[in-house]
Structure 1
Amino acid sequence: MSADEIDYNIVFPDAGTTERHWKGTKEPVVILLGWAGCKDKHLSKYSSIYNEQGCVTIRYTAPLKTVFISESFGYKELSSTALKLLEILYDYEVENSPIFFHIFSNGGFMLFRYMVELLHSDKQFSSLCVIGAVVDSAPGNANIRGALRALSATLGPNISPLLRYFLLALFAVTVFLLRVVLYPLTKFIHKNHYDAVQDRPPAWPHFHLYSRADQVIRHRDIEQFMDTLKKKGVPVDSYDFVSSSHVCHFRDFPEQYTRKCRSFLVACMKDLEGAEMKNVYKVSETWKRN
């Protein structure tokens, strides 16, 4: 691929599956944004939840350096990635389909933040119809200990201990200075993902899947985020798996996880159909009066 391209995967379901589930309506396009260090073979297991439901899926995971370095230093590299991901919808001519997000951890949520900003501000994307978002194990806020756990797990066992400790120490110092000590000033230059989406949230429904046993993202950060969105009128639902670790809810509870994701998607599609019917009714009444 060229330097301007991103490494994504798109899957189209067979026509029979789509017709069986959506009965002539446009099938949803589900955009899955992986956690930092996520391999595509893992993300593809989640996309199968939706492919088997007759949906188109686009899956992408941001590079580690972008999540842990660029964002920490305030470089908005993910903004251009967000733009390319939304342009994919036009490349494959699915921009008129309902759009649905499935986001994992802070790595996915950082990218989601920029996609939300583009959907708010860019005229090119004003016609896109986003119907909802599943948010798995996110977002976290200024949790250095959790971020270090995530980075350590991402580095893997093959890296030398000396290099591991050096990278973790450098990351901890950088994040502490820029995102904690100096954040009252640096936020005017580069607001973090948690505050950015919380301050100007999208209107579509959110469904947060999390666990109190998560050692990377604190459950109270997620709960506080949900409370803020609710106060701003955003429909928010959630489920606490209680015992599963970070982004392991599907691994530990596959049937329950799948059922909840599909049920939420179907509910979002029904809400869309209801809204369209209301618009049709309004147009019809206007026509009759005229």
Structure 2
Amino acid sequence: MADDEIDYNIVFPDAVTSERHWQGTKEPVVILLGWAGCRDKHLSKYSSIYNEQGCVTIRYTAPLKTVFISESFGYKELSSTAHKLLEILYDYEVENSPIFFHVFSNGGFMLYRYIVELLHSDKQFSSLHVVGAVVDSAPGSGNVRGALRALRATLGPKINPVLRYILLVLFAVTVFLLRVLLYPVTKYIHKNHYDALREKPPAWPQLYLYSRADQVIRHSDIELMVETLKQKGVPVDSFDFVSTPHVSHFQEFPEQYALKCRDFLVACMKDADGAEIKKRHQVQNH
């Protein structure tokens, strides 16, 4: 069972709240993928946006070693994590519900990349119905300085200064060699998350929330991703909070942030309902 293998939290809405918001239709299942080093008490504040909207929520944050070490060395450990995470939908018998993602920073986006690939390629998961995704402070590409800032913040002040210095140096050298200097060669073995989803993005609607003041993820990387998706015909929107630090938009502007997420989810659900009605008419006409 997937729930024996990965550490996640799932919350079901009460029936009254769900019915009030979704009026007889299946409530969405929102999967929140936390940033590297994210604590569940912080992620739960984001899930409450959707719990109050009558949604089922699943919270999960990938371990630090898989984000900073496994991915840096090209070991696709997150691929098996993605598989286990999607299996949770079947464990709780919500696989027929609309699925919505809320993804944070590169730590969440790396896992999201493998989920998207499974949804495209795995027969078991191909029937899952994804209606949309919010991406917060991601994705970034080839930014060694930003990656070091993220790792330093994640390690925190309690770790031994000498050990912190050694870890940062080793990480910087590894990322620069494998993900920058040698990437023209190593990408044929293991393409990074940014390039993978630029080349083969999911078709569902996406909302990118970011800030040009972000010191970890360059706003230009996010804007390039958004522009690429538009050129490929993917429904995509974005919003620049301008002044907020990395993954701090909700903290700085809670009402505006929550409203954008809820409005986008509702719009995605309406679009999905419209597409389903159109599909049924086409079948009936044939």
Counterpart for residue 31 of structure 1: 31
1:183-222 aligned within 5 A: 183-222=183-222
CA displacement, residues 15-73 of structure 1 (integer Å, 9 cap, x when unaligned): 00000000000000000000000000000000000000000000100000110000000
Residues 120 and 3 (structure 1), Cα distance of their counterparts in 2 relative to 1, 3 Å cut: closer
- The equivalent of 2:46 in structure 1 is 46
Change over 3 Å in CA distance of 1:193–1:28 after alignment to 2:
same
Partner of 1:102: 102
Q: Paired residue for 1:283?
A: 283
> Structure 2 unaligned runs (5+)?
none
Residues 259/2 of structure 1: CA separation in 2 closer, same or farther (3 Å cut): closer
Superposition CA RMSD, Å: 1.2
Task: State the distance in 1 between where 2:65 and 2:16 align.
Answer: 41
- Between the aligned partners of 2:66 and 2:156, the Cα distance in structure 1 is 18
Residue 257 of structure 2: aligned partner: 257
Q: Report the 3-state secondary structure (helix = DSSP H, G, I; strand = E; otherwise coil) of the residue aligned with 1:124.
A: coil
Instruction: Give the deviation of 1:282 after TM superposition.
Output: 1.8
Corresponding residue SS for 1:216: coil
Q: Tell me the secondary structure at the aligned position of residue 124 of structure 2.
A: helix
1:66 partner amino acid: T
Matched residue type, 2:219: H
Alignment of 1:221-232 (within 5 A): 221-232=221-232
Deviation at 1:160, TM superposition (A): 1.4
Amino acid at match of 1:96: N
Mapped partners of 1:72, 1:3: distance in 2: 27
Q: Distance in 2 between matches of 1:44 and 1:115?
A: 21
State the alpha-carbon separation in 2 of the partners of residues 274 and 99 from structure 1: 16
**Paired-residue identity, %:** 80
Give a deviation string over 1:110-165, Cα, whole Å, max 9, x none.
00000000001001011100000000000000000000000000000101111111
Q: Determine if the alignment matches structure 1 residue 244 to structure 2 residue 244.
A: yes
How far did residue 3 of structure 1 move?
11
Alignment of 1:71-110 (within 5 A): 71-110=71-110
Q: Distance in 2 between matches of 1:284 and 1:235?
A: 27
Instruction: Provide the C-alpha distance between the structure 1 equivalents of 2:2 and 2:228, rounded to a whole number of angstroms.
Output: 41
- Equivalent-residue separation in structure 1 for 2:252 and 2:208 (angstroms): 17
Aligned equivalent of 1:119: 119
Instruction: Give the equivalent residue in structure 2 for 1:67.
Output: 67
TM-score in terms of structure 1 length = 0.97
Runs of 4+ in 1 over 6 A off after TM superposition: 1-4
Q: Give, in whole Å, the separation in 2 of the partners of 1:280 and 1:178.
A: 49
1: CA distance between counterparts of 2:280 and 2:7? 40
Tell me if structure 1 keeps the 8 A contact 2:198–2:229: yes
* Structure 2 partner of 1:166: 166
Partners of 2:3 and 2:70 in 1: CA distance: 17
TM-score normalised by structure 2 residue count: 0.98
Shift of 1:285: 2.6
3-state SS in 2 of match to 1:273: helix
SS at match of 1:262: helix
Distance 1:2 1:91 in 2: 8
User: Would you say how many aligned residue pairs link Structure 1 and Structure 2?
Assistant: 286
Letter in structure 2 aligned against 1:63: P
Distance 1:168 1:229 in 2: 33
Structure 1: stretches of 5+ with no match in the other structure = none
Aligned pairs (5 A) from 1:126-145: 126-145=126-145
